[in-house]
Every structure is written in structure tokens, then in C-alpha cells.
Amino acid sequence: MIALVSGASGGIGSAVCERLADDGYTVVGLDAEIDVTSSAQVESFVDHVETSGPITALVNAAGVLRTGRAVDLSDAEWADTLAVNASGVFHVSRAVARRMIPRHSGAIVTVASNAAKTARQNMAAYAASKAAATVFTKCLGLELAEFGIRCNVVAPGSTDTPMLTGLWDGSDAIRTSVEGAPGAYRVGIPLGRVASPSDVAEAVAFLLSDRAAHITMQDLTVDGGACLGV
């Protein structure tokens, strides 16, 4: 079994790779050496991977974060965010799905964000890109269902990764995430802690596994209740 993971060197991506390796997958990371915004590079890389065997699982975990007020975002910041977080998911998913269809098997999981369904200050580009990736993955799942291919989304909230610490000043990142920031209309985390990358990886592994054999087009939120179940 071959699992392709984009963003494999990231906090969540690396945890996903470790978890899937424990499940017996041969894990192939698609990272900085391949530009997910380039469909040509993605197609070539997927072709190369498939010379070793069929890709049976795909995890879209590559992502970038550009923060700032919506009215202050530059064209480049907006375009870069959508290019990686939305178009990247499209390019990789399309390349892999095309090869899964003749085999009538496979599973795809996109790591999105709870920001895709909850407004956040200074995160308009990120939230919009993750919302696009979420709905794309569900539409893909509908189209691939007849081939027995399942497509689902895992939506993490605040997770203990460099992306989180970059949002706040130093050690305040985790405390602010847990306690909330009323001035920014952001509630805290009811479970009282941020997620670990392994928490997210467990959800990904479940949705790829036969335990989720009848689950597709679903959005599994892993945020400790931060979105209050919405």
C-alpha cells in the first residue's frame, strides 16, 4: 500500500506520515521539491511514484498561512494562499484520482481547518482557501463514489505546530488559543488544550482505513470543541 502525503515535512504532515507507516503503508512525501501549484510537476511526480505501485491513499496536508486584515492583503498574499491551499489540493487530488478510477479503489483525505466554517479576524485568505479545499474534496467524493473511492476532510483547530506559534507572540500562542480572545471574537477550547499533531493524524488514519469504509464526503472537526460543534 502506498500513501502519498503532501506537506509531509510540516507538523501535521510528518505526524500523518508516521501514523500511516505504523499502519503498514509505504509513505511517499510530496514536499518542497515538488511545487503543488504546478500541475505539470504534480503529474510527473505522481507518475514516478506509481512506477513502484498504485497509490492507495492520498493525504493533502500542504498548506500556507498569510495573515492580515482582508482590506490590507496584497494580491500576492491572496494568490499564494489560494494557489497552495486550494489549487494545490486540486492538482494533487486530480492526478491521483485519475489513476485510482480504473482500479475502483482508494481513499483521499484533505486536511483543511475549522477556519473554513468559522470567521476569524486576520485570516480571510486562509479561511477562504480552506473552505474551497473542503467543498472541492466533497464534490470530488460525490463524483468518485461510483468507483468506490472515498473522499473526506479533517478540519483541525489550533494545533501545536509552528503555524500556530506564528500567530501569537511566543509562549502566548497556546494559552491564547485555549483561553480564547474575546476582543477578536474567538472562543477558547472547551477541552482545555490545543491538539497535538498526532490527534489530527489519528483522525486521518481512521478515515483512510476500512473502519471508515462507509464514510465519504464528511468533514471531521478536530478542535476540542473550539467551534462549539458547528
- 59 by DSSP, 3-state: which? strand
Residue 82 has phi, psi (to 5 degrees) of -65, -35
CA 174 – CA 191 distance, rounded (Å): 13
The three-class DSSP label of residue 50 is helix
Any idea which residue has 483522525 for its cell? 203
* Residue that is written with C-alpha cell 490590507 in the block: 72
Give every CB contact of residue 40 below 8 A, 6+ residues apart in sequence. Answer: none
Phi, psi of 75 (to 5 degrees): -55, -40
Q: Taking each helix axis as running N to C, give the angle between helix 11-22 and helix 197-208, from 0 to 180 degrees, rounded to the nearest 10.
A: 50
What is the spatial distance between Cα 71 and Cα 67, in angstroms, rounded to a whole number? 11
Active site residue 126: yes
Asked if residues 121 and 184 have their Cβ atoms less than 8 Å apart, the reply is: yes
Which member of 25, 45, 90, 126 is catalytic? Answer: 126
Which three three-digit cell numbers place residue 6?
503532501
CA distance 151 to 92: 13
Task: Write out the catalytic residue numbers.
Answer: 126
